[in-house]
A = this chain, B = another copy of it.
């Protein structure tokens, strides 16, 4: 419409990014009806581009499509989070085990680098949790998590990991806003995880990984 199309990104991809962001931050709420016309007014694009965008987001599990009844933001109950994390744990455990078995020294380097970046990002967000730093923090989490498993030699495991991670983003950012994260514990855990990975201690790494993922659930402690 009026936005300058830089690089080779397609309109639909731009729309998808915008919607993803707004879903992650809760500007578009869970279960909210997504009417094509309204979205067009807000984000631009033609009706088809918008429909296609919504199809893509439904691929990613952020939006749900019902025949003849349009689209809505995927609901986000605690059960949903539990389910996502359950699958994440299984996928990431398998992938991590394979990565440890197959990964070479350059992979180890990428893990260390991602861990380093994550620590910086956690420091930054713990101090000033504005939206931008929050996004950068989440991106660092994603990069670290991705680095851990990227040597697993299974495109589908990697792809799944990414999708599941993105699905849990909303919850993670909410947790950040509510300030229920234990930064100290995270740091210790992640440090131990990296050490276990470098020591090729699969069982230890696996259980630390599970702990780290499970920690995303403890939003309300009694």
Chain A interface (Cβ < 8 Å from any Cβ of B): 8-10, 13, 48, 51-52, 55-56, 58-59, 67-68, 83-84, 86-87, 90-91, 94, 154-157, 160
Contacts and interface: CB of A to CB of B under 8 A. Distances in A.
Contact of A59 (B8, B59, B67, B91): B59
Contacts of A10: 67-68
Contact of A68 (B8, B52, B155, B157): B8
A67 B160 contact: no
Contact of A84 (B51, B67, B156): B156
B83 A94 contact: no
Contact of A90 (B9, B58, B91, B155): B91
A154 B59 contact: no
Given A10-B67, A59-B58, A67-B9, A83 B52 contact: no
Q: 7 closest A-B pairs (Cβ-Cβ)?
A: A59-B59, A55-B55, A48-B48, A87-B156, A90-B94, A10-B67, A83-B156
A8 B67 contact: yes
A67 B155 contact: no
Contacts of A67: 8-10, 13
A90 to B, nearest CB: 5
A154 B87 contact: yes
Contacts of A55: 52, 55-56, 59
Nearest to A9: B67
A156 B90 CA distance: 12
A106 B186 CA distance: 43
B86 A154 contact: yes
Contacts of A157: 86-87
A149 B29 CA distance: 32
Nearest to A46: B48
Nearest to A79: B155
A156 B60 CA distance: 12
Contacts of A9: 67
A21 B90 CA distance: 31
